[in-house]
Amino acid sequence: MIPFSLNELYRSISISKQAIYKQSEKVKQNRLKTYELRCQIDLIRQDHPGCGLEKIYYQLQPDWIGRDRFIKLFSSLGYCLNEHKKQIRTTLPVPIKYENLIEGLLIFGIDTVWQTDITYYRVREEMCYIVFIEDIYSRRILGHQASDHMRAEANMQTLEMSHSTRDFRDLTGTIHHSDKGSQYTDKEYLKMLDNKNILISMGSRGQDNAYVERLNGIIKNEYLKHWSINSLKDLRLALGKAVTHYNNHRIHRSLPGKLSPIEFEKMITKDPGNILLNEWVYSNKLKLNQNKYNFEISDLTAKTLVCPMVE
């Protein structure tokens, strides 16, 4: 038994019993809400295991806790992710060179620029390779392929998948941008691009391919590395699952309303005149390409996003 009256204690510190009760109930409610959020985070991370806490906050939008406090709380509960660095280079440069058509380009819609790249993924003791083609305006992954080699066949399959994703529409004038890897100068691959009337563009620096370079890291570090993958077959199944979630559910801070790529494409299809979003691939050659493509200064007054090295 305590040797003093609780009522006297409350009076001495100018706090009422009702206030103590309300605070106790608030703590209980917050603990319950925190538990409910943990359950929701666990569900999100089943399909998107590398989803960062900030993206989870915007996805759940809890009304009782702010973003910074949310991140601090769940970081303390062990939900913080580790950083990862790329270690293996997959580009085998060749002397053939094409002009960089996207440097300084202001992009107004989908199918203006497709970026593509090859990245590695280790499965047990074997090295596998993943190819992506991404529409850099909507961030949608149009095609993907996993293989145990770096030959151009995988790139050709990815290109054909991308065309299929776009319902085999006319791609005349679409810019295909890549690094100088030998797969992208393969005769059969170039022939496929030419047959589809797709323009060829190549860059020589990391920031020239910043969108798809970032995509490589997202798919590997937010999805694949968290799943059990023991064979090339497993990798292909996991890759398909990751791409489906990325396109349909992963929010993108760079898109209006933090939409997913497919949600954004549906929105611009439904009401294209209401979307004031342009994508500016930044460089000191902006004025050169602005003149080349007859851009006006007024074009830059709309909401314009700059392509940085890291989004």
For residues 167 and 119, membership in a common domain is answered with yes
pLDDT at 66: 87
> How many helical (H) and strand (E) elements, i.e. helices and strands, does the chain have?
10, 8
Q: Which of 30, 54, 76 is the last residue of a domain?
A: 76
Residue 253 confidence class, pLDDT cut points 50, 70, 90: confident
Query: In which domain, by residue range, is 23 found?
Result: 6-76
For residues 270 and 193, membership in a common domain is answered with yes
CA angle 156, 246, 108 (to 5 degrees): 75
Is residue 290 pLDDT above 90, yes or no? no
Residue 85 domain flag: no
- What pairs with residue 91 in β-bridges? none
For residues 252 and 185, membership in a common domain is answered with yes
Q: What is the mean pLDDT of the chain?
A: 79
CATH at residue 233 = 3.30.420.10
- What pairs with residue 51 in β-bridges? none
Distance of CA 264 to the CA centre of its chain: 13
Is residue 8 pLDDT above 80, yes or no? no
Whether 180 contacts 94, CB under 8 Å: yes
Cα 6 to Cα 23, 26, 107, 144, 202, distances in angstroms = 16, 20, 69, 68, 76
Residue 113 domain flag: yes
Contacting residues for 146 by C-beta, under 8 A, at least 6 apart = 121, 128, 129, 130, 131, 154, 232, 235, 236, 239
Residue 134 domain flag: yes
Which pair of tokens denotes residue 264? Answer: 């954004």
Task: Indicate the range of 93-107, 158-172, 264-278, 294-308 predicted with least confidence.
Answer: 294-308
Average pLDDT over residues 239-268: 92
Residue 26 to residue 15: CA distance in whole angstroms: 16
Tell me which residue of 138, 103, 154, 148 sits closest to 287, measured CA to CA: 103
Residue 175 confidence class, pLDDT cut points 50, 70, 90: very high
pLDDT at 308: 38
Residue 98 domain flag: no
Average pLDDT over residues 172-197: 93
Query: How many structural domains is the chain composed of?
Result: 2
Residue 90 domain flag: no
pTM: 0.70
Residue 86 domain flag: no
Phi, psi torsion values for 309, nearest 5 degrees = -65, -45
C-beta neighbour count of 288 within 10 angstroms: 12
Residue 282 domain flag: yes
For residues 68 and 171, membership in a common domain is answered with no
Residue 84 to residue 15: CA distance in whole angstroms: 50
Residue 263 to residue 251: CA distance in whole angstroms: 10
Task: Indicate the range of 5-14, 67-76, 195-204 predicted with least confidence.
Answer: 5-14
Average pLDDT over residues 209-234: 91
Determine the longest span between alpha carbons in the chain, in angstroms. 91
For residues 184 and 289, membership in a common domain is answered with yes
Residue 238 confidence class, pLDDT cut points 50, 70, 90: very high
Whether 79 contacts 60, CB under 8 Å: no
Residue 93 to residue 87: CA distance in whole angstroms: 17
Residue 158 domain flag: yes
Average pLDDT over residues 118-122: 91
Portion of the chain with pLDDT greater than 70, in percent: 73
Q: Which of 58, 76, 94 is the last residue of a domain?
A: 76
Three-state secondary structure call for residue 147? strand
Phi, psi torsion values for 217, nearest 5 degrees = -65, -40
Q: Hey, CA dihedral for 102, 105, 106, 108, is it positive or negative?
A: negative
For residues 133 and 209, membership in a common domain is answered with yes
